Homo-oligomer: A and B are copies of this chain.
Amino acid sequence: QMPRGNIETIHHRALVLAQLRKWLDDLKFREAFESMRKLRINLNLVYDHSPRVFLENVEWFLKQIDSVNHINLFLTELKEEDTTKTMYPLPVGKACQPASEAGGGVRKKVDLVCDALRSAMETLDPQKYCLCILTSHVRKTTPELEIALQKVHELRVNPPSAEHAVGAGEALKYLLFLVNVNELYEHSLGTYDFDLVLMVAEKSQKDPKEYLPFLNMLKTLELNYQRYTIDKHLKRFRKALHHLSKCGEEHFTELVNLVKDQRLYSEALQLYPSDSQQHKVLTVAYAEYLLEQQQAEEAGLLLWRCGEMPRALQAFVSCTSWRHALAVATHIPVTQGQLAQLARDLAEKLLEMRRATEAALLLEQYAKDCEEAISALVTGAAWEEALRLIYLYSRQDIIETHLKPALLEAHSMQVAFLESQMALFTRYKSRLAVVLEQKEKTKLLLIDEDGPDCGEAELYSEASSVLTGSRFGSKYSHSNSRISSRSSKNRRKAEGKKHSLKEGSPFEDIALLHALIQIIHVTDKMREEIHSLLRALVLFLFDVRASSLQAKYSELLQLIETSIPEIWHEGLQPGPAPITGPNSTTNSITASLQQPRPPLVSQQDAEILMPPKMRQSIRWELSILK
């Protein structure tokens, strides 16, 4: 048998809620509150019904309720839940006030209400509302136990004068009722007030044998060290660090260990003047940590500024920060031989990173080896800089022995590369046309069968991808290794896509678009390189080779430029665009700003629908070769 009262309550409640809302709208908090208590309606509704109104009338609320117990009850019952949405939704059809209206969208509701009430109570009568104020601290999302304890402590130090006022003992008792005793004990330690700790401990029914020895030990310690010990016990390491730093030289090793354990380097450094020995020790410790974290550059800066030169040098070398490394090395200073060796080591690293010009500077200026420097520049295709050094050091012999052969090799490599790019581009482009045509056909076929409903085009294309999947072999599936070696970053990016260039793979069209974009970017980036090579070839009278290279590159750029509008034709733009004529472009854009907002397309995939941009403003052609 169902308990009879239930149904009654439910019906009753609908009517009661209407009445409550009316009371709350009329700011009749007392009537509302009492009715809610009696009928066990969640007190959160007082706030949730209209957060803004409540927050604006907090004092009026307090005056109407006028009962410490009831206010405590209200505070205790506060929850993050919005009861107007969960438990007591408005009847359908009534306008709902937006939740963000109170302006507290960022702050949490419970914290907001606790702070608002406490602030009002402290203004009205802190003594009277003493327990409520404690509750408001304890109820916060992160309970402010120490502030609460601090208030108890104050009551003990300055007992309230008024007769009916709450004393320290009563307040503590109330706190213990609200909070777990062990937690409160820990936090009482954090006030560093042993009397308060003892008060809490006594009320807690803890065994005095447990806490007395620890407290007695603490009492024997010097004040700062005592506080440090407490902070560490409570895992408040920042505070511990501050107190420990006041304990003098003999505890410095302990401090360094604390800093290392808790990685409080920045905090620790601020506690000592930058010219002190401690600052230096801490800096070195910090730098060692940064080195472990692959932050060698920053480690080097710290070591340098505190005068730890050899360590700084090591740090800078390890991250190929060559300018800083050499500055430090000349600052130390090291011998000429050491400097030369350092320069050679760094140059080798830089060459591996294809930074030939920097490598050459090191070899020239610090290793005093112009031949090696020129060789680095020639290897790195920095033709102009190579020539400058050749003439600076009157080493024209190198032109015949190294520069010209390197130029010719660079020429034939570039020509071969351009040819391969051209072939790949043409192949991908025509394959893309085939794939898209195929899909279009399959789509039309499906539409014919299923009627004219073409609202969910992606279903058809998905189907067609699968349908056309098995028709083609994998003749073109091998990818271009030359590009890969050129831009391994792009390759990795492309691998991440998971769309395969293999013929018939489900998203072959997308993979082809990505491959085409990659070729376009690689080709476009070559302008400066080709320009520099052309000039060098012309200078040494390799006009025929220069012309052929210029023609090849020009042809490829031309192919790409004419292909871009063909590949990225208007149909590639997502959706049947509302653009109706060639003269309405700006209007169309403006119109599109007004469109309803469908879910966002994956950024990365959406990008392939935009035609890539070429840096057409970069001059690279030589007019004398035209």
Enumerate chain A interface residues (CB-CB to B < 8 A): 265-266, 274, 286, 290, 293, 295, 297-298, 301-302, 304-305, 323-324, 326-328, 330-331, 365, 384-385, 387-388, 390-392, 394, 436, 439-440, 443, 455-462, 465, 499, 507, 509-510, 535, 538-541, 565, 569-582, 584-603, 605-611, 622-624, 626
The answer to whether B305 touches A565 (Cβ under 8 A) is no
The residue on B at minimum CB distance from A326 is B388
Residues in B neighbouring A298, C-beta threshold 8 A: 535, 538, 622-624
Cβ-neighbour of A587 out of B324, B459, B499 (below 8 A): B459
The answer to whether B585 touches A571 (Cβ under 8 A) is no
Cβ-neighbour of A385 out of B323, B461, B585, B611 (below 8 A): B323
Cβ-neighbour of A575 out of B328, B578, B585 (below 8 A): B578
Given the known A-B contacts A457-B595, A597-B569, are A574 and B590 also in contact in the complex, defined by CB atoms under 8 Å? no
29 A-B residue pairs with CB within 8 Å: A286-B624, A293-B623, A298-B535, A298-B538, A304-B539, A327-B392, A328-B391, A330-B392, A440-B594, A457-B578, A457-B595, A460-B594, A461-B587, A462-B590, A509-B590, A510-B589, A565-B600, A572-B592, A574-B574, A574-B575, A574-B578, A574-B588, A575-B576, A575-B578, A577-B601, A580-B598, A586-B605, A603-B611, A607-B610
Bound: A461/B578 CA distance, A: 12
The answer to whether B624 touches A302 (Cβ under 8 A) is yes
Bound: A565/B456 CA distance, A: 26
* A269 smallest CB distance to B (angstroms): 8
Bound: A295/B92 CA distance, A: 78
Cβ-neighbour of A458 out of B326, B327, B588, B610 (below 8 A): B588
* A435 smallest CB distance to B (angstroms): 9
Cβ-neighbour of A439 out of B330, B569, B580, B593 (below 8 A): B593
Given the known A-B contacts A392-B326, A580-B458, A591-B460, are A586 and B602 also in contact in the complex, defined by CB atoms under 8 Å? yes
Residues in B neighbouring A585, C-beta threshold 8 A: 601-602, 605
The answer to whether B596 touches A581 (Cβ under 8 A) is no
The answer to whether A462 touches B587 (Cβ under 8 A) is yes
The majority secondary structure among interface residues of chain A is: helix
Bound: A265/B609 CA distance, A: 46
* A287 smallest CB distance to B (angstroms): 9
Bound: A591/B463 CA distance, A: 11
* A299 smallest CB distance to B (angstroms): 9
The answer to whether B590 touches A326 (Cβ under 8 A) is no
Give the number of copies in the complex. 2
Residues in B neighbouring A586, C-beta threshold 8 A: 499, 507, 510, 602, 605
Bound: A139/B391 CA distance, A: 61
The residue on B at minimum CB distance from A339 is B392
The answer to whether B594 touches A573 (Cβ under 8 A) is no
Bound: A316/B584 CA distance, A: 48
Given the known A-B contacts A304-B539, A575-B574, A610-B610, are A594 and B330 also in contact in the complex, defined by CB atoms under 8 Å? no
The answer to whether B391 touches A327 (Cβ under 8 A) is yes
The residue on B at minimum CB distance from A590 is B461
Bound: A331/B593 CA distance, A: 62
Given the known A-B contacts A293-B623, A330-B391, are A592 and B573 also in contact in the complex, defined by CB atoms under 8 Å? yes
The answer to whether A579 touches B574 (Cβ under 8 A) is yes
Bound: A596/B579 CA distance, A: 12
Residues in B neighbouring A597, C-beta threshold 8 A: 569-571
Residues in B neighbouring A290, C-beta threshold 8 A: 623-624
Residues in B neighbouring A461, C-beta threshold 8 A: 587, 590-591, 593-594
The answer to whether A571 touches B595 (Cβ under 8 A) is yes
The answer to whether B591 touches A577 (Cβ under 8 A) is no
Bound: A365/B365 CA distance, A: 10
Bound: A439/B600 CA distance, A: 22
Residues in B neighbouring A509, C-beta threshold 8 A: 590, 593
Question: Which one of A324, A579, A592, A609 has the highest number of Cβ atoms from chain B below 10 Å of its Cβ?
Answer: A592
Bound: A140/B99 CA distance, A: 82
* A339 smallest CB distance to B (angstroms): 10
Residues in B neighbouring A578, C-beta threshold 8 A: 455-458, 574-576
Cβ-neighbour of A384 out of B324, B365, B439 (below 8 A): B324
Known: A565-B600, A572-B592. 4 other contacts (CB 8 A): A295-B624, A298-B538, A457-B595, A582-B599
The answer to whether B439 touches A390 (Cβ under 8 A) is no
The residue on B at minimum CB distance from A322 is B388
The residue on B at minimum CB distance from A610 is B610
Bound: A570/B465 CA distance, A: 26
